[in-house]
Homo-oligomer: A and B are copies of this chain.
Amino acid sequence: MTVNYKKELESAAKSMILVHEADLLIKMIVRTIVQKVKVSHAGVLLQDKEKDTYILNFSRGAKGLRIPQGFARMDKDNPLIRFFGERKNKAFFEHGALVYKEAKKILDRDIPSDSKQLLRKVLYQMEMFDVQVTIPSYFREELLGVLLLGNKPRGKAFLREELDFFTALASDVAMAIRNAWLFKELEAELEKKHHLFIHTTVALAAAIDAKDHYTHGHTARVTKISIDIAKRLGQRIKEVSEEKFLEDLHIASLLHDIGKIGVPEAILNKEGPLDSEEKKKMQEHSILGATILQPIQELQRSILGVKYHHEKYDGSGYPEGLKSDEIPLIAAIIAVADSFDAMTSDRPYRKGLPVDRAVEEIRSLSGKQFHPLVTEIFCELYKEGKI
């Protein structure tokens, strides 16, 4: 093994710190060992923390070695795992590596019979995999994995210096893998927390939805249409293409009617058109929704969607009579989705419009009630059968 290969492997091990995929890491290192060091084949037994087993990841190597059936996964009872997992067995191999030829000699020595039996099984496994050297790697006292090395060219023995190098490499890899795990765990936790947040918001929004007898499923439909519009709109407006915008819109559309919680049931459920006083109360829901969410720092952009989803492009909407580009885009998107769902839903005092008629109506109100570009995108999606 020349010094160059060492450098290459060392630097691979270092850059692995920033590779946060344990599987990829292992494949990289095994491939590099086989290609650069000309070992016939190499493998890694890697701990699978969740399933409490070890997974075998072998290179085929020069000989095209295949893993015997049932050996891709080894549990804690497997001789190799047991042998390296038990502290006392460290006495049987020097400098962190178990070399087949040397271990064979130990069998002739006077050692406890249970150790002898275990070692015999380990050697049998090494024969089966045609492996000359096995190197365990630990994090603190925990066995993270075992590096398995095949044969050097022309059956030469591994040098002490080479074994030292592989031992150090194995410990680098162990560190990198542990780091990758920590990362993965943290990412999984983040994902979980995000789902918890969204699911809870969905559940509470649906419960509030249910208060308004005539709008069953309204929130879910508005949310879906809003997101669909934004995804397409993102092809034209950079700001909208950002994940943050989609997230804010998602929350805003889920919560756009949250203020209805403050509207009396008698008004929400009235069978017939509202008089002007009742209408005023009903219209308060948008500003009330914004008030409920106001203390939440992270929702400031979503709140714009909640507060202004009843503004109209020509300035005739509420609560502030904003017009054209004064209306935040997030609200302009919800406005179209919300109106479309309201138009197509039945009310006790009128039947809902057919979808094509509602789309026509929305198109005719482009630039009056609705943002022209948002309307255009909405109509485009309808034409493609996506509404």
Contacts and interface: CB of A to CB of B under 8 A. Distances in A.
A18 B178 contact: yes
A265 interface: yes
Copies in the complex: 2
A19 to B, nearest CB: 10
A197 to B, nearest CB: 4
Contacts of A200: 197, 200-201, 293, 296, 299
Interface string A226-264: 000000000000000000000000000000001001101
Interface in A134-179: 171-172, 175-176, 178-179
Contact of A175 (B17, B190, B207, B262): B17
A190 B182 CA distance: 14
B14 A171 contact: yes
Contacts of A192: 298
A220 interface: no
B299 A208 contact: no
A204 B207 CA distance: 11
30 contacts: A14-B171, A14-B175, A15-B175, A17-B176, A17-B179, A183-B183, A183-B186, A186-B186, A186-B190, A189-B190, A190-B193, A192-B298, A193-B193, A193-B197, A196-B197, A199-B295, A199-B298, A200-B200, A200-B201, A200-B296, A201-B204, A203-B292, A203-B293, A203-B295, A204-B204, A206-B292, A207-B258, A210-B261, A210-B262, A211-B261
A356 interface: no
A190 B194 CA distance: 9
A147 B229 CA distance: 51
Interface residues of A, number: 44
Interface of A: 14-15, 17-18, 171-172, 175-176, 178-179, 182-183, 186-187, 189-190, 192-197, 199-201, 203-204, 206-208, 210-211, 258, 261-262, 264-265, 292-293, 295-299
Given A265-B264, A298-B196, A172 B14 contact: yes
Given A197-B200, A298-B195, A18 B175 contact: yes
Query: Chain B CB within 10 Å — which of A193, A199, A261 has the most?
Result: A193
A380 to B, nearest CB: 33
Given A14-B172, A196-B296, A200-B200, 9 more contacts: A17-B175, A18-B179, A182-B183, A189-B190, A192-B298, A197-B197, A200-B201, A207-B258, A261-B261
